[in-house]
Amino acid sequence: MATPYYTNKSNPINNTFSTIAQNDIHTQINSLVASNEDKTKICLDAQNLLDCAHEVCEKHLYHDDIKQDFIDDINNFATHIVNQVESGAMSYEQGSEAIKSEEKSYGIKACTG
């Protein structure tokens, strides 16, 4: 029966290192990919940002081309953040903070449903 990793029974230090290295690799892999819960939460945060942007457009922007440019900018930003979180390049907390920062930079107040 083959073992999943190299072990050397005569050298316990190598065995310990091998076990530690495997655990470390699993930890790194798990941290690189966002959990489904984090993916769902960042998508909801991004959707809320877009909903708020649409509300701002309806209340404060009057020209269709300006409205569309504004929505496109917000959508591109939100999509970028979602992709970063889903790929593991950014944590959910970092993504959520970036979205909040974007809301503030455009003067968008958090919408409540």
pLDDT (tens digit per residue) in 65-106 = 999 999 999 999 999 999 999 999 999 999 999 999 988 887
Note the pTM of the prediction, 2 decimals. 0.67
Q: For residues 70 and 21, what is the distance between their CA atoms, to the nearest angstrom?
A: 48
71 in Cβ contact with 50 (< 8 Å): yes
User: Which tokens hold the place of 46?
Assistant: 């991004």
Classified as helix, coil or strand, 41 is helix
Q: Could you tell me where the DSSP H helices lie in the chain?
A: 12-32, 36-60, 64-87, 92-105
Q: Each residue of 33-55: pLDDT tens digit?
A: 678 999 999 999 999 999 999 99
Report which of residues 78 and 29 the model is more confident about. 78
